[in-house]
Structure 1
Amino acid sequence: MAGGSGLIERFYREVMAGGNLDLIDELGSAAFTDHEEPMPGQPAGLDGIRFYVNTFRSAFPDIRVKAIEPTMVDGDLEAAQVVLAGTHHGELMGTAPTGNTVEFSGIDIIRVQDGKVVEHWGATNMLKMLQQIGAVQM
């Protein structure tokens, strides 16, 4: 990403898809605040990020990044749309594994201070993902 910090891309490629949870402490500030609606049981702060990643990696062990675009940087803010895909091989929020393949997206906005993420705003299309595993009927 020209001119940007690329922290969103690093998070999704190295932490979410790659499984490097140790990188959370390198990318995120101890003062991290997440403004996205938490998942059931998700704690605050960096522990909440670990919970989020572990939940998705357990449910979708083959989770991968399909796309990260567009990415935008303005001062201390970075934003991107991320598309993830994977196969439902583990329990997710009470739904037993189905073997279904899912693809869903999210929008992330982060504020960076001293090279670390201090705030996050986001919206993940959980409804689409839950529909794809059969947890929600429409």
Structure 2
Amino acid sequence: MSELKDLMTNVYAEMSATDDVNAMVDKYFAVDFVEHDTIPGIEAEGRELARMMFGMMKSGIPDIRVEIDLMVEEGSKVAAFGAFVGTFTGEMMGVTGQGQQVRMPFADVLEWRNGQLVAHWGVSDMSALFGPTS
């Protein structure tokens, strides 16, 4: 596996394992990190947005893990396709979990510079939070 794919795998693994979202963001996200996607109701940018998003995911799905199906690298960018999986027991996006298992597919493109993330483009399907799962 390439260095960038290793870094990407490490980010997902630490996101799943950490109780210290701030330290994880400080380690992997450059101070000039840019999020290219808008998140309804969230005005934060850059690292602060990353802290808010990871914090929200960890509080809503404390046992969250990332299943990666595919990673593709081109230049300084790595694309990953997979799913966030876990038990929805907390609150996330205004919805309170009832202990149901959720699977939220995602596609991420992350740009790296000197071992840190400088940009993110992505989509995720969070519909599992809003209704019954199969």
- Specify the TM-score bucket, using the shorter chain as the normaliser: 0.7 to 0.9
Counterparts of 1:78 and 1:127, CA distance in 2: 25
**Residue in 1 aligned with 2:107?**
107
Counterparts of 1:26 and 1:45, CA distance in 2: 14
Note if 1:18 corresponds to 2:17.
yes
1:41-120 equivalent positions in 2, closer than 5 A = 41=42, 43-65=44-66, 67-120=67-120
Deviations 1:82-104 (A, max 9, x none): 21211111122222231111011
Counterparts of 1:42 and 1:25, CA distance in 2: 20
Kindly indicate whether the alpha-carbon contact (under 8 Å) linking 2:91 and 2:97 is maintained by their aligned counterparts in 1: yes
- Give the unaligned 5+ runs of structure 2: none
Aligned structure 1 segments of 4 or more residues deviating by more than 3 angstroms:
none
Question: With structure 2 as the length reference, what TM-score do the two structures score?
Answer: 0.86
Deviations 1:68-91 (A, max 9, x none): 121111111111112121111112
Indicate the structure with greater strand content: 2
Amino acid at match of 1:52: M
Question: With structure 1 as the length reference, what TM-score do the two structures score?
Answer: 0.84
- Counterpart of 2:38 in 1: which secondary structure? coil
- Counterpart of 2:96 in 1: which secondary structure? coil
Counterparts of 1:56 and 1:121, CA distance in 2: 17
Counterparts of 2:40 and 2:82, CA distance in 1: 18
**Residue in 1 aligned with 2:30?**
29
Counterparts of 2:48 and 2:131, CA distance in 1: 27
- Give the unaligned 5+ runs of structure 1: 134-138
Please report how far the alpha carbon of residue 129 of structure 1 lies from its aligned counterpart in structure 2 after TM superposition: 3.7
Please report how far the alpha carbon of residue 3 of structure 1 lies from its aligned counterpart in structure 2 after TM superposition: 2.1
Counterparts of 2:33 and 2:73, CA distance in 1: 19
RMSD of Structure 2 on Structure 1 (CA): 1.8
Kindly indicate whether the alpha-carbon contact (under 8 Å) linking 2:95 and 2:129 is maintained by their aligned counterparts in 1: no
Please report how far the alpha carbon of residue 10 of structure 1 lies from its aligned counterpart in structure 2 after TM superposition: 1.5
